[in-house]
Structure 1
Amino acid sequence: MPSLTNDAHDTHDAYATLRVSSAQGVARIVLDNPPVNVISAVMMRELRTVLTALADDPSVRVIVFSSADPEFFLAHVDMRIGEDMAALESLAASAPADVNVFQAVGELLRHQPQVTVVKLAGKARGGGAEFVAAADMAFAAVETAGLGQIESLMGIVPGGGGTQYLRHRVGRNRALELILTADLLDARTAAAYGWINRALPAAELDDHVDRVARDISALPEGVVEAAKRALPADDLTEGLLRENDAWAATIARPAARRLMSEGLRAGAQTPAGERDLETLMRGAAR
């Protein structure tokens, strides 16, 4: 990707699913994969590309993620992703050792040298919720945001780091609750559980995230780097391997393929279906 500097710069034309810009030490990545912002193989590749490039850009101190769709931050991993085996194999070949293609995005995000901030106005489920948990900070709109690990209703378990990120953020008991009930949490509950930093009125979300990003980027040289060295991301290697084994065992079962197929037929991955995906997928299970 083109180098991002402290001068205002926009590189959105370089990506199919992202809009990337940078100014005054803050990079802004807008997730844009209509109609509902599913995490496709292309988006995973582009996220890895831009995060790797930004990691080597000392002019950027903060990365803010938001969505082009006010309803959906990241819906979840594309249920049809298995149909693009060539893209998945390419991602797998370039993924770090000991992580799968889904975990690779979250681990890159967790170990980013910049401070990573999610501005959550809409819903984030499955891989989208894992992405939120992998970021350093997340702020959500009280009226419209929602977080949920939908995977159990698809006959699988989280496979992009969610089991480990949730246990770290909310504790084992709540992680089990969130994974096995697949409930969509509102922003206030997500903040109370520790999944996100804070729930804010929607009218205040943009200004709050902008202030956080601006204040961090303006800190004296070396402060951000020192703080991230003092508070490093935990080593989750063993847990991620256990998660991948559990995910691989469940995704291979006929029930998972049937549930995802039924869900797609019922309207998953359309705006109408994604607005209450939990009810839709529970209906597919009957």
Structure 2
Amino acid sequence: MHHDAFTTLRVSQEAGIARVTIDNPPVNVLDVALMADLRRLLAGLRDDDLVRVIVFDSASPEVFIAHVDMSLIDAPEAFDTFKAGLPDGVNVFQGLGELLRSQPQVTIVKLTGIARGGGAEFVAAADMTFAATESARLGQVEALMGIVPGGGGTQYVTSRVGRNRALEIVLGAELFDAETAERYGWVNRALPAAELDAFVDRLARNIADLPDGVTAAAKRAIPPENLAAGYLREHNAWAQQIARPAAEKLIRGGLAGGAQTLVGERDLEGLLRSDAVGLEEPGA
């Protein structure tokens, strides 16, 4: 694989570890370009026997992946190019999660900033996540846009934290700090930022140094849960909501108010709850 062939990723490889830095400024929105690069990366590494671990981080200290590109509201067909080869009943965003979940290598996210929406879905689809106590944040913000998570989020979160906490995450639509996410089981561990790099590097090297076959055997013995039925339920719920006028109003209002800029993403939840965007009143 030519590691310089990506426009939104920086990729390096050494000693059995592929290190992938997401670099799609200003806020690493999950747009067509980033989706294409992530899919091509995972497909290209799938049969690479020299890589045993993939570590993902971000070029932005504040944002890992912001969320799916909200301008999709004006170009709903933009991601259609990724439909080819998807399993039945899986949409393109769920398909990215399935690629990550089924990757033969161990996948690790090193989280130092915000991961919302599709970004939080990517985090939860990875095998392991380690988060910086001071700055890492996770959230499923979709309810504030009048929709529900549609890229696997409802399924991944429920699998990790249980139904009651999943409902809190999806309907509360708040950012969770790293320590709470650890306590809930959303991430493996919350660590001080000063210790995060060394910890993840040591774990990745220890896994990469295991005898031949051990990692593959462990991933076969501890497979990801089959989410086929859940994906279909989730997609139908998302599709029903995205078709409502309220969703378009909220998404357009969010974009006009500064979503997908660094300033706006620092408190996207507050922005989407503001009078300028305008959540509908109950019963309206």
Counterparts in 2 of 1:114-133, with a 5 A limit? Answer: 114-133=105-124
State the identity %: 62
The count of residues paired between Structure 1 and Structure 2 equals: 277
In the alignment, is residue 59 of structure 1 matched against residue 46 of structure 2? no
The one-letter code matched in structure 1 to 2:214 is V
- The equivalent position to 1:24 in structure 2, one of 15, 28, 47, is 15
Asked if structure 2 preserves the Cα contact closer than 8 Å seen for 1:157 and 1:250, the reply is: yes
Asked if structure 1 preserves the Cα contact closer than 8 Å seen for 2:73 and 2:251, the reply is: no
Aligned-partner Cα distance in 1 for 2:72–2:21? 21
In the alignment, is residue 265 of structure 1 matched against residue 245 of structure 2? no
Aligned-partner Cα distance in 1 for 2:48–2:106? 13
Deviations 1:204-230 (A, max 9, x none): 111111111011000111110110011
The one-letter code matched in structure 2 to 1:155 is G
Aligned-partner Cα distance in 1 for 2:229–2:134? 37
In the alignment, is residue 237 of structure 1 matched against residue 252 of structure 2? no
- The equivalent position to 1:145 in structure 2, one of 136, 145, 152, is 136
Aligned-partner Cα distance in 1 for 2:267–2:222? 37
Tell me by how many angstroms 1:94 deviates: 4.2
Counterparts in 2 of 1:132-171, with a 5 A limit? Answer: 132-171=123-162
In the alignment, is residue 33 of structure 1 matched against residue 24 of structure 2? yes
TM-score (structure 1 length as normaliser): 0.95
TM-score (structure 2 length as normaliser): 0.95
The one-letter code matched in structure 1 to 2:179 is R
Aligned-partner Cα distance in 2 for 1:257–1:50? 32
Aligned-partner Cα distance in 1 for 2:144–2:101? 27
In the alignment, is residue 253 of structure 1 matched against residue 241 of structure 2? no
Match of 1:207 in 2: 198
Tell me by how many angstroms 1:195 deviates: 0.3
Q: CA RMSD in A?
A: 1.1
Q: Which runs of 5+ in 2 are unaligned?
A: 280-284
- The equivalent position to 1:81 in structure 2, one of 58, 62, 72, is 72
Tell me by how many angstroms 1:250 deviates: 0.6
In the alignment, is residue 95 of structure 1 matched against residue 86 of structure 2? yes
Tell me by how many angstroms 1:86 deviates: 5.2
Asked if structure 1 preserves the Cα contact closer than 8 Å seen for 2:12 and 2:20, the reply is: yes
Match of 1:112 in 2: 103
Aligned-partner Cα distance in 2 for 1:68–1:22? 17
Counterparts in 2 of 1:156-235, with a 5 A limit? Answer: 156-235=147-226
Deviations 1:190-247 (A, max 9, x none): 0000000000001111111111101100011111011001100111000001000000
Match of 2:39 in 1: 48
Asked if structure 1 preserves the Cα contact closer than 8 Å seen for 2:73 and 2:248, the reply is: no
The one-letter code matched in structure 2 to 1:236 is L
